[in-house]
């Protein structure tokens, strides 16, 4: 389990959006979305409603 993805999840919750969180980390929104998707697959459930 990647701890960076867990940090991303926390930042998304704080910012209220994936776009804002991606900007905070200086990464592309698409890369953040892929990380979150993979993290959700590892956990076996969705973290966010889409």
Map out the domains of the chain as residue ranges: 3-43
Instruction: Tell me the per-residue pLDDT of 24-36, one tens digit each, with 9 for 90 and over.
Output: 999 999 999 999 9
Alpha-helical (H) ranges within the chain are 3-15, 18-25, 29-43
23: Cα separation from own chain's centroid: 12
> pLDDT of 32-48, one tens digit each?
999 999 999 999 999 99
Q: 29-43 and 3-15 are packed helices; what angle lies between their axes, rounded to 10 degrees?
A: 110
The whole-model pTM stands at: 0.85
Nearest to 35 by CA among 20, 16, 18: 18
């Amino acid at each position: 389990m990647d701890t960076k993805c867990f940090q991303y999840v926390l930042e998304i919750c704080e910012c209220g959006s994936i776009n804002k969180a991606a900007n905070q980390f200086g990464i592309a929104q698409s890369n953040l979305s892929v990380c979150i998707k993979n993290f959700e697959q590892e956990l076996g459930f969705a973290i966010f409603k889409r």
